[in-house]
Amino acid sequence: MRNEPLLLELQQVRKQYGTTQALNGVSVKISSGVIVGFLGQNGCGKTTLFDVIAGISRPTSGEVRIQGRKPSHRTKAMIAYMADRDFLYGWMTVGQIVDFYASFCSDWDEDRADAFMHSLALDPSDHISSLSKGFRARIKMLLALSRKAPLVLLDEPFTGVDPISKDLIVSSMMHTFQFGEQTILLSTHGTAGIDLLMDEIVLMKKGAIALHDTTERLRTELGGAISNIWREAAL
């Protein structure tokens, strides 16, 4: 979509589980330094696609390239993945889970983590088990965005999150994201309150890409809010 260097390219990627075709010939190119929203209804293939990009799942066919490289241990180190699945240890405190995660990440940015801790109103002494889903989402966002990884994958980060937490997360992302340093892929089945984050939109339907364009062009050419655009495309 943009003139920046290509970060991610998928060519005719398919993923099949038994008789279920989770991905059906996905081809897309993503430039460096943008925030791209992957939109679509539940079950359209967003999580499967992110798992394939992250190297957690191998495609049945097709090719994935990250900065021109096939998925490997090297490309996995280039990706920060916030999965929809909850991976936080309830017996740890917020500070302990941050320190634990940071110890495994050579690209950890301590200053950025401290800034997120403050902006997301997190208390390092709070135990994970005592926190609401909204606060747990804030922690997961901190862990993903405190790395200097070139590619950040955020899978349904706002599902079930309370409005206050959602607003804090979006505000923190807008203030910390620096154009050109990272690319963020954000999957969601709703755009309310987050459409201003996204430079580009990828609409998915039944395991395939129905549309890929800049957010600005979609608003101008198709008219109306992004929420209306993706609802129409999902029909």
Q: What is the pLDDT of residues 110-153, one digit of tens each?
A: 998 998 898 888 999 999 999 988 888 889 889 998 999 999 99
Beta strands in the chain (DSSP E): 6-17, 20-31, 35-39, 61-66, 79-82, 151-155, 183-188, 200-205, 208-214
Spell out the residues 6+ positions from residue 61 whose beta carbon is closer than 8 angstroms to its own.
12, 13, 14
The CA distance from 190 to 202, in Å, is 13
- Looking at 3.40.470.10, 3.40.50.1970, 3.40.50.300, 3.40.640.10, the CATH number of the domain 6-85+148-234 comes to 3.40.50.300
Task: Evaluate if residue 21 carries a pLDDT over 90.
Answer: yes
What are the structural domain ranges in the chain?
6-85+148-234
Q: Name which residue leads in pLDDT, 159 or 66.
A: 66
On whether the pTM is more than 0.85, the answer is: yes
The CA distance from 45 to 68, in Å, is 23
For the record, the structure tokens of 134 come out as 């909204």
Contact of 152 with 143, CB cutoff 8 Å:
no
Task: Evaluate if residue 100 carries a pLDDT over 70.
Answer: yes
How far from 106 is each of 34, 72, 101, CA to CA, in Å?
Answer: 23, 17, 10
Q: Which residues make beta-bridge pairs with 201?
A: 37, 213
